[in-house]
């Protein structure tokens, strides 16, 4: 059997259609479809990113971001404000305060003494918001009642800090990201924050 092309049986030859290139109009259609899909993706991403700035506060926008107006939030040093139903579901309720000018803290009302613990405590305001003084208290069904400063940091030794939502400020809007929980790790000991008198016997 020969090795030259003309020596091969005709039934082994490729048909003439194999030599035809893909029609140009099909290539144009494919490129156009890819461009349209790309534009749609860009529009969706842009709208989602701009949603917090287009919505009228209070509003829950894409990405579980809650938009609040600074005019509706506590001024510096004022008592924390509860943000709950119907704005957010019961399990996502939080207290927001401004212990330092321009810095908002959103602590979750649901609290447990250990990460993922079964004992659920309810966080309530204890006083005026302060970076050092007692601002929050967690009422636990087992009788424990740890206290926390305006930043959500535990004042009582051995208590875990409060879980918080990520907060950002943009002009006259405060954006609370309910999808991002900053969960405090368990702590067995720790210093008493500045401004809090230490109990007798504390080294």
Q: What is the pLDDT at residue 186?
A: 63
pLDDT value, residue 200: 38
pTM metric for this prediction: 0.68
The reported pLDDT for the residue numbered 196 is 45
Look-up: residue for tokens 């918080």?
164
Model confidence pLDDT, tens digit, residues 53-83: 667 888 888 888 999 999 989 999 999 999 9
β-bridge pairing 65-69 and 59-61: antiparallel
Q: Where are the beta strands (DSSP E) in the chain?
A: 59-61, 65-69, 81-83, 94-100, 103-108, 110-111, 121-125, 134-139, 147-149, 164-170, 173-182
For residue 143 the two structure tokens come to: 């009788």
**Cα pseudo-dihedral 188, 191, 196, 201, rounded to 10:** 80
Nearest CA to 198 among 125, 135, 131, 132? 132
Q: How far is CA 126 from the centre of its chain?
A: 26
The ranges of the chain with pLDDT < 50 are: 188-189, 191-194, 196-203
Sort 106 into a burial class: Cβ within 10 Å, 0-12 / 13-18 / 19+: buried
Distance, first Cα to last Cα, the chain: 99
């Amino acid at each position: 059997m020969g090795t030259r092309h003309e020596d091969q049986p005709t039934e082994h030859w490729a048909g003439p259609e194999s030599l035809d290139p893909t029609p140009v109009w099909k290539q144009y259609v494919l490129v156009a479809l890819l461009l349209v899909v790309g534009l749609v993706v860009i529009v969706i991403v842009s709208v989602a990113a701009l949603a917090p700035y287009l919505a009228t506060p209070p509003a829950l926008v894409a990405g579980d971001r809650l938009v609040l107006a600074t005019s509706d939030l506590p001024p510096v040093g004022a008592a924390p404000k509860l943000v709950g139903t119907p704005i957010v579901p019961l399990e996502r309720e939080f207290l927001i305060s401004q212990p330092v000018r321009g810095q908002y803290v959103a602590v979750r009302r649901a609290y447990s003494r250990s990460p993922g613990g079964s004992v659920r405590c309810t966080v309530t305001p204890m006083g005026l918001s302060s970076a050092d003084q007692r601002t929050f208290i967690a009422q636990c069904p087992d009788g424990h009642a740890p206290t926390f400063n305006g930043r959500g940091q535990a004042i009582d030794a051995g208590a875990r800090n409060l879980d918080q939502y990520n907060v950002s400020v943009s002009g006259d809007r405060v954006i609370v990201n309910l999808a991002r929980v900053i969960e405090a790790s368990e702590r067995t000991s720790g210093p008493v924050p500045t401004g809090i008198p230490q109990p007798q016997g504390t080294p």
